[in-house]
């Protein structure tokens, strides 16, 4: 079991990386990130042990949560410190009331590489692609849906926000740490590379020419599918909609579109069923 270090002062230098996490995020600072809550913590521990390029660096726990975390702490790496504080101190450290009672500091050892990830995908592949996704809740929802419907990877263009941002990581319930992904390049180049690798590119839009339920017909024996989503409101750029196949989600009249989390979930479910990935 990891050694327990008690913290009584929010200014203690040993927990400096946990300070005021509401106002700042660690992304971009030596590729560190904050994982919040026990579910995400378990995902972090699993990724750390699996050697997926993710490392746990420290743990901060509310003292009255220690008993409930005993099984997890028993498996926590001995060389990763666990800091414990009372409610007043831990709230002062975090900068807000930490009702989940647990934070972990992690780091990404190396940025995922697009060509390497693309070449590693199986012959039958389902991927989700995000273009210009700047909302952290939406990024988190994309990863949660990708994990829930057996997608092989998530690809994001360079204008999308980092999925290791604390809120995105929390909304994904840790799926960011277990789902292969890459975030680099412009959207058209990214989709062109997927197209060249044999993927059917299906761009989601309310004006799509085919309904998502017909995706099995669109595949016509092909084994690779890339579902593409854009920002809420503006949607995908015209260049992408003109260049690649477009699909829509049938819905009641009078509503412009669904939110990105719902739309990506419905599309992934339809695709996963068409490809025999879910019952």
Q: Which DSSP symbol is given to 156?
A: E
| pLDDT for the residue numbered 150 | 95
**Is the pLDDT at 15 greater than 70, yes or no?**
yes
**Is the pLDDT at 230 greater than 90, yes or no?**
yes
Walk me through the domains of the chain, giving residue ranges and CATH numbers.
4-108 (3.30.1330.30), 114-274 (3.40.1280.10)
| pLDDT for the residue numbered 104 | 92
Please give the structure tokens belonging to residue 209.
């020419």
Output the CA–CA distances (angstroms, integers) from residue 151 to 13, 74, 179, 205, in the order listed: 41, 32, 8, 20
Q: Is the pTM of this model over 0.75?
A: yes
Length of the chain: 279
Helices 136-148 & 260-274 angle (0-180, nearest 10): 20
| 242 φ, ψ (degrees, to nearest 5) | -80, -30
Strand partners, 104: 35, 59
| pLDDT for the residue numbered 118 | 97
**Is the pLDDT at 26 greater than 70, yes or no?**
no
- Average pLDDT of 157-172? 92
- Average pLDDT of 199-226? 91
Query: What tens digit of pLDDT does each residue of 236-258 get?
Result: 999 999 999 999 999 888 777 78
């Amino acid at each position: 079991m990891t050694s327990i270090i008690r913290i009584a002062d929010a200014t203690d230098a040993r927990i400096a990386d946990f300070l005021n996490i509401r106002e700042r995020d660690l992304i971009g600072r030596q590729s560190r990130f904050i994982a919040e809550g026990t579910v995400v913590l378990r995902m972090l521990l699993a990724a750390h042990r699996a050697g997926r390029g993710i490392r746990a660096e420290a743990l901060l726990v509310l003292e009255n949560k220690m008993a409930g975390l005993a099984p997890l702490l028993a498996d926590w790496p001995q060389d990763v410190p666990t800091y414990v504080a009372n409610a007043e101190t831990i709230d002062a450290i975090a900068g807000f009331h930490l009702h989940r009672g647990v934070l972990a500091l992690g780091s990404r050892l190396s940025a995922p590489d697009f060509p390497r990830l693309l070449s590693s995908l199986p012959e039958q592949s389902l991927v989700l692609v995000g273009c210009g996704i700047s909302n952290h809740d939406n990024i988190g929802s994309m990863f949660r849906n990708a994990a829930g419907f057996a997608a092989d990877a998530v690809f994001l263009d360079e204008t999308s926000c980092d999925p290791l941002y604390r809120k995105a990581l929390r909304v994904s319930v840790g799926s960011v740490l277990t789902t292969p992904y890459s975030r680099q390049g412009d959207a058209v180049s990214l989709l062109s590379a997927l197209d060249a690798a044999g993927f059917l590119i299906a761009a989601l839009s309310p004006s799509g020419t085919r309904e998502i339920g017909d995706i099995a017909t669109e595949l016509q024996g092909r084994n690779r599918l890339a579902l593409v989503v854009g920002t809420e409101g503006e949607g995908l750029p015209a260049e992408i909609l003109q260049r690649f196949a477009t699909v829509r989600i049938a819905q009641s009249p009078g509503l412009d579109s669904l939110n990105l989390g719902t739309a990506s979930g419905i599309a992934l479910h339809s695709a996963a069923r068409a490809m025999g990935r879910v019952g």
